[in-house]
A and B are shown apart, each in its own frame.
Chain A
Amino acid sequence: MSATTIGKPADPGPSGEQAAASQRNRVLSALLHRPLALTGLCGVALLVLIAAAGPLLAPDNPDQTSSHATAPPSLAHWMGTDQLGRDVFSRMIVGTRISLAVGVGSTAIALVIGGLLGMLAGLEAGRAPDTVLMRAMDVIFAFPVLVFVPVLSGLAIGRPIHLGPIPVGQLAVLTGAISVVFVPVFARVARASTLAEAKMEYMLAAMAFGARRRDLVFRNLLPNVAAPLMVQAAFSIPLAVITEAAVSFLGFGVQPPQASWGDILNDGRNQILLGDWWETVFPALAIVVTVLFFNFIGDALRDVLDPRARAREMTAAATGAVVIGDRGD
């Protein structure tokens, strides 16, 4: 390589991006070889497709009332109709978009904010910024989720909250409120990994080779902190979906006639007593299945990204032992 490429201005070779890409390929192929992870991936892909296509897939107008009120599932209405005669299946499909968007959106916001705050705290460990940040996280953590989110989201019902000149709609407020709840988790994960990484000899070695602080943080620390954060995100998305459902169920989330899974559950609440099960069972199932799909991915991601887990697996394979209950960290 050395003799043939002298003089070429840009040597073709694995760049950082390619290295990252090959890391992604490794993770992806590891995921595809696990049946549960594959199920989770396919399931989530399907959900995303449904969310993206939304109204195009719905057989009926989800908001169209009809005289066929509270009809049980039939060929015309696969999941029956609600009190107002709206097609539950269509509402479920349209609701997927909001449920997923709120879940993924709030997790993404929490991941970025919590991750950065946590890394900052970890780098300043033991000093004032660390203490202030992490105590603030404790305060947020201590706040009951189902008080905090409904109150914030409820404030925005019917009229957007103005953050300065920017009006923030109710859905955005809901997403933001849920993300606030999840920030402490990500901050803690990021801080813990930062503390562990900062002790690693390769950080010292990078410094000894003349790396600046910026290099250390963004090129050495961040990529290694990102893995546990991704795992955390995979587990947080379903929680966020549930939170959105709960808040909507309480009536402070998505407002009618818009549909989300929790909102459909809420509408069906009264029907259960009358034995009309379909309006609650289907959204509940959708939530359960979504949570499962994401958890499958999260589990597999953790195993693939955590080198200790990989080492344990290899030891187990080598000794023929079965690793039981090896979940907690």
Chain B
Amino acid sequence: MTDSDGTAACGPDIRAGEPLAEVTGLSVAFGNRHAPVPALREISMRIGRGEAIGVVGESGSGKTTLLRSIAALVPRPFIRSGAVRFGNRDLLTLRERELATIRGREIGMVFQDPVNCFNPAFTIGYQLRRAFRLHRQGPGGGTNAEIGRALDRVGVDAGRLARYPFEFSQGQLQRLMIAAACFAGRPALLLADEPTTSLDVTTEAQILGMLRELRRDLGMALVLVTHNLALAAQLCDRVLVMYAGRIVEEARVADLFARPAHPYTRQLLRSLPVLPRRRGRLYSMPGDPASAANARRGCPFAPRCEALLGAVCADTEPGLLPTGVNGQLAACHRYDIAQAATENLAGQAPA
């Protein structure tokens, strides 16, 4: 935690160079062909080398599905369209055998609930050793010394390797999972699915500091799924806001907080408690979270939107449009109106 927040927040420029990974036109629907339950709709995102991206949204907005899709952990039949390019491969077309050499080795993953991620029947040492050996053939792979060094980095006593998962606290298990995710392979990309949701705030702060340090030292890109905007703000360069299985806003962290473009983001930010406390009740967003499963005509956020533009919101679904600031994108009709207006002006000017 000695690094300045500045270095973590700036990161490499998001548009510069070849991205580490790129998701294009990804649509996922669970259920069978006759009764599909859409979870993700036409998601596209780029992950730059060493970049930290936060994915925020309410429960059911598709954050976790998106994260699992990036590791190709969503069963193939549910992927309706799209590609996940990592390096020069499309992960969604690889066979399981090939994926097994990428997962853990080039893409590390940290899950939400560390307690359930360890098999209760085996000691921690046994499970870590297995994770390490998966990616280190030959002698020297997964030795206690190597695992001990990894545990040193995450601050868990290496003398406790012979213990079972139930003998560890949640925070320690999360540290162990992070150790396995970061050091078993040499991942260029770390996927973290609400890594601190099940932890208390003190532990959360420690884990976040640790994640930031590890990311800096190992040069990993990070995709952090969370429903906690503050978390994304602390750790990420760029934030994707998801709603009903779609990306509704994409912005640099500073821009998102300074000038939220989508009404959903604005209402989301308004519902955060701020100190010193203003008078009156804390704002609470009306309506229920929409899920991608019950799709409606028009903009999915329209029923809860407090900045409706009129019939267009109820009739047509807005695309993800540039807002004109720093590559910020938002899926709201106000920007296509703005765009149309500028185009009109541009068209009329010569006449």
A65 within 8 A of B: no
Instruction: Check if A223 sits within 8 Å of B109, measured CB to CB.
Output: no
Instruction: Check if A23 sits within 8 Å of B134, measured CB to CB.
Output: no
B135 to A, closest residue via Cβ: A210
Instruction: Check if B119 sits within 8 Å of A220, measured CB to CB.
Output: yes
Q: What would be 21 A-B contacts, judged by CB atoms less than 8 Å apart?
A: A1-B148, A1-B159, A2-B148, A6-B145, A16-B122, A19-B162, A201-B116, A201-B117, A202-B116, A202-B118, A205-B109, A205-B111, A205-B177, A207-B103, A209-B131, A210-B101, A210-B131, A210-B185, A213-B96, A223-B119, A223-B121
Instruction: Check if A212 sits within 8 Å of B117, measured CB to CB.
Output: no
List residues of A (1-26) whose CB comes within 8 Å of B's CBs.
1-2, 5-9, 11, 13-16, 19, 22-23
A193-235 contact mask (Cβ, 8 Å, vs B): 1 or 0: 0000000111011111111110100011001100000000000
Known A14-B123, A15-B126, A204-B73; contact A212-B97, beta-carbon cutoff 8 A: yes
B310 within 8 A of A: no
A307 within 8 A of B: yes
How far, in whole Å, are A174 and B96 apart by their CA atoms in the complex? 44
A20 to B, closest residue via Cβ: B122
| Residues of chain B within 8 A of A205, CB atoms compared | 109, 111, 117-118, 177
Q: How far is the CB of B56 from chain A (nearest CB, A)?
A: 21
Instruction: Check if A219 sits within 8 Å of B130, measured CB to CB.
Output: yes
In the complex, which of the residues B113, B126, B152, B162 contacts A201, with contact meaning CB atoms closer than 8 Å?
B113
| Residues of chain A within 8 A of B96, CB atoms compared | 212-213
Q: How far is the CB of B254 from chain A (nearest CB, A)?
A: 32
| Residues of chain A within 8 A of B143, CB atoms compared | 5, 8, 11
4 more A-B residue pairs beyond the given contacts A2-B144, A6-B145, A219-B130, with a C-beta to C-beta distance below 8 A: A1-B161, A2-B149, A8-B143, A210-B100
How far, in whole Å, are A5 and B159 apart by their CA atoms in the complex? 12
How far, in whole Å, are A19 and B130 apart by their CA atoms in the complex? 13
Instruction: Check if A2 sits within 8 Å of B145, measured CB to CB.
Output: yes
Q: List the 4 closest A-B pairs by CB distance, nearest first.
A: A2-B148, A210-B104, A208-B109, A205-B117
B101-133 contact mask (Cβ, 8 Å, vs A): 1 or 0: 111110001010100111111110110001100
Known A5-B144, A11-B145, A213-B96; contact A208-B104, beta-carbon cutoff 8 A: yes
Known A23-B121, A210-B103, A224-B121; contact A200-B185, beta-carbon cutoff 8 A: no
B71 within 8 A of A: yes
Q: How far is the CB of A134 from chain B (nearest CB, A)?
A: 20
Q: How far is the CB of B166 from chain A (nearest CB, A)?
A: 9
Scoring A2, A22, A206 by chain B CB atoms within 10 A of each residue's CB, the highest score goes to A2
List residues of B (212-261) whose CB comes within 8 Å of A's CBs.
none
Instruction: Check if A16 sits within 8 Å of B126, measured CB to CB.
Output: yes
A207 to B, closest residue via Cβ: B73
A24-54 contact mask (Cβ, 8 Å, vs B): 1 or 0: 0000000000000000000000000000000
Question: What's the interface size class on B, roughly?
Answer: 35 or more
Instruction: Check if A13 sits within 8 Å of B161, measured CB to CB.
Output: yes
Instruction: Check if B134 sits within 8 Å of A211, measured CB to CB.
Output: yes
Instruction: Check if A224 sits within 8 Å of B119, measured CB to CB.
Output: yes
How far, in whole Å, are A108 and B316 apart by their CA atoms in the complex? 65
Scoring A7, A8, A11 by chain B CB atoms within 10 A of each residue's CB, the highest score goes to A11
B53 within 8 A of A: no
A221 to B, closest residue via Cβ: B119
| Residues of chain A within 8 A of B149, CB atoms compared | 2
B139 within 8 A of A: yes
Q: How far is the CB of B105 from chain A (nearest CB, A)?
A: 6
| Residues of chain B within 8 A of A22, CB atoms compared | 123
B97 to A, closest residue via Cβ: A212
How far, in whole Å, are A23 and B163 apart by their CA atoms in the complex? 11
In the complex, which of the residues A5, A208, A215 contacts B111, with contact meaning CB atoms closer than 8 Å?
A208
A210 to B, closest residue via Cβ: B104
Instruction: Check if A210 sits within 8 Å of B105, measured CB to CB.
Output: yes
How far, in whole Å, are A16 and B122 apart by their CA atoms in the complex? 8
Known A201-B117, A224-B119; contact A208-B73, beta-carbon cutoff 8 A: yes
How far, in whole Å, are A9 and B146 apart by their CA atoms in the complex? 12
Instruction: Check if B180 sits within 8 Å of A209, measured CB to CB.
Output: yes
List residues of A (210-266) whose CB comes within 8 Å of B's CBs.
210-213, 215, 219-220, 223-224
A2 to B, closest residue via Cβ: B148
How far, in whole Å, are A116 and B62 apart by their CA atoms in the complex? 36
Instruction: Check if B125 sits within 8 Å of A13, measured CB to CB.
Output: yes
How far, in whole Å, are A15 and B128 apart by their CA atoms in the complex? 11
| Residues of chain A within 8 A of B181, CB atoms compared | 209
Q: How far is the CB of A223 from chain B (nearest CB, A)?
A: 5
| Residues of chain A within 8 A of B10, CB atoms compared | none
List residues of A (66-99) whose CB comes within 8 Å of B's CBs.
none
A206 to B, closest residue via Cβ: B119
How far, in whole Å, are A223 and B164 apart by their CA atoms in the complex? 15
B329 within 8 A of A: no
Instruction: Check if B158 sits within 8 Å of A209, measured CB to CB.
Output: no
Instruction: Check if B116 sits within 8 Å of A19, measured CB to CB.
Output: no
List residues of B (172-215) whose CB comes within 8 Å of A's CBs.
177, 180-181, 184-185
Known A1-B148, A2-B158; contact A209-B126, beta-carbon cutoff 8 A: no
| Residues of chain B within 8 A of A215, CB atoms compared | 130, 134
A227 to B, closest residue via Cβ: B121
Known A209-B104, A212-B100; contact A1-B158, beta-carbon cutoff 8 A: yes
A121-153 contact mask (Cβ, 8 Å, vs B): 1 or 0: 000000000000000000000000000000000
| Residues of chain B within 8 A of A7, CB atoms compared | 145
Known A13-B161, A220-B119; contact A209-B184, beta-carbon cutoff 8 A: yes
How far, in whole Å, are A94 and B175 apart by their CA atoms in the complex? 60
